[in-house]
Amino acid sequence: MGLSEGEAGTWGRKPITMGEAASFAARVQASPREREAVAQTLFEFPLECEVRGMFFVGLVNAVASVAGHAETQRITELAEVPSSVLPFTLHPHRDFYKLFFLASPILHPRVELSEAMRRVAETFYPTFRASPIGRTMSLLMGNQPRRVLERLADAYNISVAWNSHACEARSETELIWRCRVEPTDFYEHIFTGIVHGTLESHEAPSPRVELMERRRDGDGQRMVFSIRW
């Protein structure tokens, strides 16, 4: 799989300084403006936020298929990904973001980091769907956007501990999604990619995702999206 050898990275669930965050951001293929956003994301990231190991595995395998073993080894070492990642075990979400920041420009070069991350995020639900619990849930989802998105909220709550997601239908062709998530300027792009990838996976109509509200809430942020199809 290409994961690095040794113990978990030196960050783990520990607080870091802005200097440490900026030092890592300098290694990300991005514009100066986006590197600042990378550093801010990592510095402010809530330490209690965790994500399932399947997403580390899926992203590492994607990079290996495109860039080969040597490049995969390089970025997993930079991201300090632990040597043993079990698909359904919870790991620090900040560690996943480090890998996410490094992998996205490799998988989608010649676009801004935020766009590369949006495209990578389209693969997150298919990664979940391939897991045992994802296969079971997907059997009940069909291809109606409302039903698919309601179950996506459940899948998201299972996949990322500390986040919270809920949705409600506004009409036959629109759904309102409310969430409390990690405080990052990249989240709108990430969420848009996840929604598109989920509906495409179920052969549902392509959506339009619009951010309606965003506000800071303690060590996280609350966001409200409109999803139309």
- Kindly state the tokens that stand for 145: 């956007």
- Kindly state the tokens that stand for 127: 């990664």
CB 138 within 8 Å of CB 154: no
| pLDDT tens per residue across span 163-198 | 999 999 999 999 999 999 999 999 999 999 999 999
Domains and CATH numbers, the chain: 18-119 (no CATH), 125-228 (3.90.1520.10)
Question: What is the share, in percent, of the chain residues with pLDDT greater than 90?
Answer: 90
- Kindly state the tokens that stand for 27: 């290694």
Higher-pLDDT residue of 200 and 8 is 200
Residue 83: pLDDT above 90? no
Q: Residue written as tokens 């966001």?
A: 223
- Please give the model's pTM, rounded to 2 decimal places: 0.93
| pLDDT tens per residue across span 115-172 | 999 999 999 999 999 999 999 999 889 899 999 999 999 999 999 999 999 999 999 9
d(CA 40, CA 52): 23
Pick from 129, 106, 126, 100: nearest CA to 189: 100
d(CA 218, CA 14): 18
Residue 5 has a pLDDT of: 35
Residue 1: pLDDT above 50? no
CB 209 within 8 Å of CB 190: no
d(CA 66, CA 53): 21
| pLDDT, mean of residues 109-120 | 98
- Kindly state the tokens that stand for 207: 């959506």
d(CA 213, CA 175): 14
| pLDDT tens per residue across span 27-48 | 999 999 999 999 999 999 999 9
d(CA 33, CA 30): 8
Number of H helices, E strands in the chain: 9, 7
- Confidence bin at 82 (pLDDT 50/70/90): confident
Residue 84: pLDDT above 90? no
- What is the full DSSP assignment across 116-144? HHHHHHTTHHHHHHTSHHHHHHHTTTTT-
Residue 28 has a pLDDT of: 98
- Cα separations (Å) of 202 from 53, 123, 124, 169? 23, 13, 13, 19
